[in-house]
Structure 1
């Protein structure tokens, strides 16, 4: 034992000394982040079990001299360490029974520091509202922007939100900052996904999930998982898509909202691609019920789910179920709804679903020509990896005897040329 009576105050001081956030610190000492948050929130009232105290003492013994100084300084500020202490052996907690007056004085000091911390705020409510408005603008304009341009516009907002969130803010403001971080992180991940930066996108989806899970907003938590499900669908791990889509729905069971409707539709499309027709049909029916229960809207802003977006997912689901005639009717309806909008990627993906359907049902020339036309017609800044990947899926769907057709060769050359750039 090193003489410390570990409470939430000492835990907070040790974490500050190591310059870690709650999650990093918890991982470092080998316990759950929830435990660290609970200890720190209870302060002197926190009752740690012997095993937890041993973990903290083990971490304390690893401190270097600079970390020790920070730890002792933090303890001194809250009245838990005499200022003369300069080594681990000197750290003592003042016994209540022997020094009641000193202990009460120390508690007064703790209260003063806690009050100061709780009242500390480096951002005004007006600035938070301004940040919220900027995030909302990013969401509104995102679907019409080329992904590279979207990343350029999002980055300054991310940096500003992070700079403010790095300082201790009141809980309500901190939650709003975490929401902003989650939304901006999600847009960043989606743009990286479209550009084919798969690993970076995956990391950013993880960041968005951590930020969302740091808020009480269950819809946001579900949204992050539902959106994340798109990455493995387009880039090869369809079973993971199903898992993420189901996890999103589990957060809000039997709740009709954009997030659950999207997750059910994503699950249906993935199950169809895996060959589970019954499961795909069930999930698609659920997506339809949830979408029918939503407020009727035609918004093109990111994260909103409506009829035309459902038709996009239905198009892929029916195509991989082999119901290409029904899929074509859905695709025609979807393209009609998308026609008056400024969204570019969704209609391209619908056309490529149709091209896959042609390839699957024996119309190889039609499928290859349609896919090549999609690539030719797309503006350069929108001709991203996600579109090229879907064009490659057309080639993969061709029967073996059709892969040497001139139209297949033309499409293959286009795909290879775009992949090389």
Structure 2
């Protein structure tokens, strides 16, 4: 706050408002973490230099409305605590020599004890950092391992985060735990979706949304909704995919980020399957614009969106719009790019199955069925999930009625049935 004499209490309120740990808070405002810790420990007696006060004021002015509200709430809480101590008759039990200026000094000491109780943390910042590193590692490796393997790795991390979050933590720590819970829950939901555990996946997407909405990270909130849109696309009502994709974009209107680019691409693909070519074209153009605004650094991490992943969504969109020649060009380009990352298995398989659907729609039923069989046969067992089988089934459904009894169609149907029973 401009014009206010900054003390350790105001510094604590600003840190809470910014939802940061002490070290990150110090670096963000341009002060050493050691100085910040000293101010916090000294409370109202902290001696803060004019230059540091200017940095604190600058940090306050950069807060958004929600941050300023958190700051004001923290200040109000401190004032209320102070008044409560006065109203409770603390002055009556203090020695007479402390009932003037000494009373205020004693109240300051009591106040520091209250603050220490409120900010006492059952987890060290180092442990939270380690959790963050493990979550980041789960995100990095997720697209290259079978979903069942991913679930086995994620479960212990979820249990640890839940155990810590169940106890009262300072706001900055709690926010980071909520983000970790959201990401781990989202990975769990996606893995369950791939395995065809539809109801369980839906519940975990709901858990991911609760955790994301408990954090100040709006991109994460949007990302959860955009990812959730995949579930009804593969297994449910396409209209639900459109609704979820649009709600993700509404959280961050006209902002280019991984979440909004994915959401626009998901909307386009669902609208194409619903027969809304005009809407699909519009959403597809938006997805391209948003993707162009992203960091161009290539990444195959889960939840990262790139020009390569956009091609996956354009493949399905153009196929269901009936623009098969353009779809094949997109598919060829996408598969060429994915060759540089052979550890990523599912995306190329889905692109090839889009191509198979296109062949089935384009009077090349035999070629489409044969391609789908080749894709299923070539997948490692751990990646031959219900999601892939569902896309292979879409190839059969795209066949004209008169071509449904072809030998190639029978072979694909037999393989799909066998794989479904093996799940």
Q: How does 1:4-43 map to 2 (within 5 A)?
A: none
Shift of 1:320: 0.3
Matched-pair contact (CA < 8 Å) for 1:146–1:382: yes
**1:229: which partner in 2?**
229
Q: 1:119: Cα distance to partner? A: 2.2
Residue 402 (1) aligns with residue 403 (2): yes
2:349: which partner in 1?
A: 348
Q: For residues 316 and 403 of structure 2, what CA distance do their matches in structure 1 show?
A: 22
Deviation, 1:135, is: 0.6
Q: Name the CA distance, whole Å, in 2 between partners of 1:313 and 1:254.
A: 20
Structure-2 separation of matches of 1:120 and 1:132: 20
Alignment of 1:270-349 (within 5 A): 270-341=270-341, 342-349=343-350
Residue of structure 1 equivalent to 2:367: 366
Distance 1:299 1:146 in 2: 19
Counterparts in 2 of 1:118 and 1:419: CA distance versus 1, 3 Å? same
Structure-2 change in CA distance of 1:413 and 1:215 (3 Å): same
Alignment CA distance shift 1:129-1:316 (3 Å):
same
Unmatched tracts of structure 2, length 5 or more: 1-69, 82-86, 95-106
**C-alpha separation between the residues in 2 aligned to 1:213 and 1:290?**
23
Deviation per CA, 1:62-94: give whole Å up to 9, x if none.
xxxxxxxxxxxxxxxx9xxxxxxxxxxxxxxxx
Counterpart Cα distance in 2 of 1:318 and 1:298: 24
Alignment match, 1:382: 383
State the superposition RMSD in angstroms: 2.7
Inter-partner Cα distance in structure 1 for 2:417 and 2:92: 74
SS in 1 for 2:144: coil
Aligned pair count reads 336
What is residue 195 of structure 1 aligned with on the other side?
195
**Alpha-carbon deviations, 1:327-354, whole Å to 9, x = none?**
0010000000001211000000000000
1:288 deviates by: 0.4
Partner residue in 1 for 2:393: 392
Give the direction of change, closer, same or farther, for the CA distance of 1:371–1:43 in structure 2 (3 Å limit): same
Mapped pair 1:132 → 2:136: no
TM-score, structure 2 length as denominator? Answer: 0.75
**Residue 210 of structure 2 corresponds to residue 210 of structure 1:** yes
| Distance in 2 between residues matched to 1:45 and 1:103, nearest whole Å | 20
1:158-197 CA distance string (max 9 Å, x none): 1111111111111001100000000011111100000000
Distance 1:102 1:227, change over 3 A: same
* Superposed displacement of residue 104, structure 1: 10
Q: Distance in 2 between matches of 1:173 and 1:206?
A: 22
Name the SS of the counterpart of 1:304 in structure 2.
coil
Can you list the C-alpha shifts for 1:22-74, whole angstroms capped at 9, x where unaligned? xxxxxxxxxxxxxxx9xx9877999xxxxxxxxxxxxxxxxxxxxxxxxxxxx
Contact 1:117 1:168 in 2 (8 A): no
| TM-score (norm: length of structure 1) | 0.75
> What residue in structure 2 maps to residue 415 of structure 1?
416
Cα distance in 1, alignment partners of residues 114 and 242 from structure 2: 45
| Counterparts of 2:365 and 2:192, CA distance in 1 | 31
1 CA distance for matches of 2:359 and 2:137? Answer: 39
* 1:115 Cα offset (Å): 3.0
- Secondary structure at the aligned position of 1:352 is classed as helix
For the residues of structure 2 that align with 1:44 and 1:359, how far apart are their CA atoms? 69
Contact 1:248 1:260 in 2 (8 A): yes
